[in-house]
Structure 1
Amino acid sequence: MSALTDFERVDSGSGGAVLRFTGNLSLASLGDLPDRLDTVDGAIASIDLSQVERIDTVGAWVVHRFAREKDAKVEGLEPASQHLFDQVVAAEHPIALPPKPESAFVHLLAEIGDAVFTAAHTLYGLLGFMGATVIAFWNVATHPRRFRFHATVHRFEVVGVSALGIIGLMSFLIGVVIAQQGAVQLRQFGAEVYTINLVGRITLRELGVLMTAIMVAGRSGSAFAAQIGTMKLTEEIDAMRTIGVSPMEALVVPRTIAVVTMLPLLGFYSALIAIIGGGLLCWVQLDIPPITFVQRIREVVPLNDLWVGLIKAPVFGAIIAIAGCFQGMQVEGDAEQVGRRTTTAVVQAIFLVIVLDAFFAVFFSQIGWI
């Protein structure tokens, strides 16, 4: 049976007492040693462990804690035991207590503050990127040989031609839904014929361009961010700068030209397909023949509605292209950033498109284009 740990206090008379331990400083033999050590009063100059038969990590920690509290030296250990003791001392690290939880109100204010700061920082960066894009356009305009014709034509195909199918299907279904819902509501007043007015005006003025912009933002804006972000990770953009090619002129300008040019055409195409979808439903459900539908559209839809949609479309296109390219240029670090920036590009573009659409609605209302 192992000897229980014990200690005695020996007064050295030259500057403090010595605490001499005997027995085993191991977990099985400690007993109430920590409690007995707490009762030791007075200054302790050193701790003598020369008569200790065995020591383990628990015993070493008990002695070290007591020595730290009394500011005493530990002496008398054999080399192997001294190494164990030194390892226990070296392993001591202060434990970081978890911070006191904040109140829900303070946490809410912190979240709002972080969101406002992030939004302001992003807006600042986006405005700077817009300025850089304008400078790149000016450089290309003053040096036409820098214009990348083939890259721009390729973007025309990717942004415009390849999107005709999905935009046409979406617009057709939207036209059907608008006509169906409008007919249900107007039937209560015996005014089903005004479904034609609803379909014609809302698609040409608002939904045709707006839904097309949202679709292009999700389809092409995300592609821009992912493509440029991947090029940033693979250091292709740095290589372009090294050989004297401006990434703004080579990557941003062709994409911006393509989206700004194609979005009015896609918006007009979307509005026409939506009108066809609405006309088909009016023919099937309201017994309004196509020729009557077309004549009514020509009578009730002013030309201003078409101009409103065509004026908004290039602005939406510029916002989508710049937001996608800007977020792609911000990628750095790892591949996870590509996905995060791609998502941010889509959300940012759609948000700005809707905000600008609201601004245009107020603006055209003020100048009388209602």
Structure 2
Amino acid sequence: MMTSSKQGYSRRTFIATLTGAGGAMVLNPVLSWALDKLDPRVTAIVAKTIGVDTHNHIDVPVTAAEVPGPKLDLTGDLTKSGLSAICMTFSVDRPALRNPGDAYERVKNALASMDNMLAQNEVKRSLNLADLRTAHAKRQPAVIQSVEGGHFLEGHLERVEEAYKRGLRLLGLLHDNDASVPLGDVYTNPPQWGGLTSFGADVIRECNRLGILVDLTHASNETINAALNVTAKPVIISHTGLDSQLGSNPAMAKMMRPRLISKEQAKIVANAGGVLGVWTHLADTPQEYAQNIRALVDVVGVDHVCIGTDTKLTPTYRPPGSQGGGSQGERIGERTNQAWQDQQVGFYYAVVDALLKAGFTEVEIGQIGGGNFCRLFDAATAGHR
């Protein structure tokens, strides 16, 4: 599946590949100029591998009055990034949920907004690995629908299947705030539920039955370990990092420390067949990001590491009448294609370049870039309608 520069896979060949298949992906002149400066192996790897950001937030409205929401150039931003797909994620527990049914309404409104955005961009949700491979072969950007937090369930297990029928294929069990009917202990909150709740266990079993990949980010160690005893399929922790990789910003390190994973806990997840995503936080450069990936690979092995940025591919959405709008006020690191200061190329290009320079092989980069996620995604979704 991999092609090296020795086989003559040039930047010109790469651009011809992108602009083929009906012209679904077209590079702009600025991006083409920047790619010219890269090692030609970078563009070859980006073209040949299925690159996936396993946790990428797309801001859309969550109130009925704001649906269908803003026009977003998802295709353009995905093309620039070099990624084949993102796990298109939203959460509903901000602002605070106050009334019964609020979370459920927010999920329905967000999915309606995303339906509209995908239709505008002629992008489809990939419901299984075959869909993802087909989109990649055609050079068409793709998304995998993700929701961060089971707040919308509100104790109704049947809503998992309802969300599945709307395209959900990755469910983050927990987010920052406890759900009205809790699913487990959140790692940044005082423990209250003794780890995974009985309802949380039921949700995991229902995800296994339907074909939804379970994400245990935001779960305490006790919740993770209990979930591993329940699930019949491997799980993902889509965005984290080793607690030994704190970067050079003390304030950021203090904020992120509770969200990082220990070597011992990372091994527990990997030994159960799981995969862990490394986020871009705590890395000021692509090279530091590659070092953080290397640190996790050294602990759990290259088969159990992926990319999960916890950034936003498209601009921040702010409701009408609120302060600011669009991309105003966004910080470096918040947007995927602006993950680092003075970044000249799209996200995946920068990461592949840094991984090559860090000594990873082309095969290893393919695994980290998306191959390991694809294995889990297939394990979760194979055999389901």
Smaller-chain TM-score bracket: under 0.3
TM-score of the pair, normalised by structure 1 = 0.21
TM-score of the pair, normalised by structure 2 = 0.21
- Name the structure with the higher helix share: 1
User: Larger C-alpha radius of gyration, 1 or 2?
Assistant: 1
| Structure possessing the higher relative contact order (Cα contacts under 8 Å, 6 or more residues apart) | 2
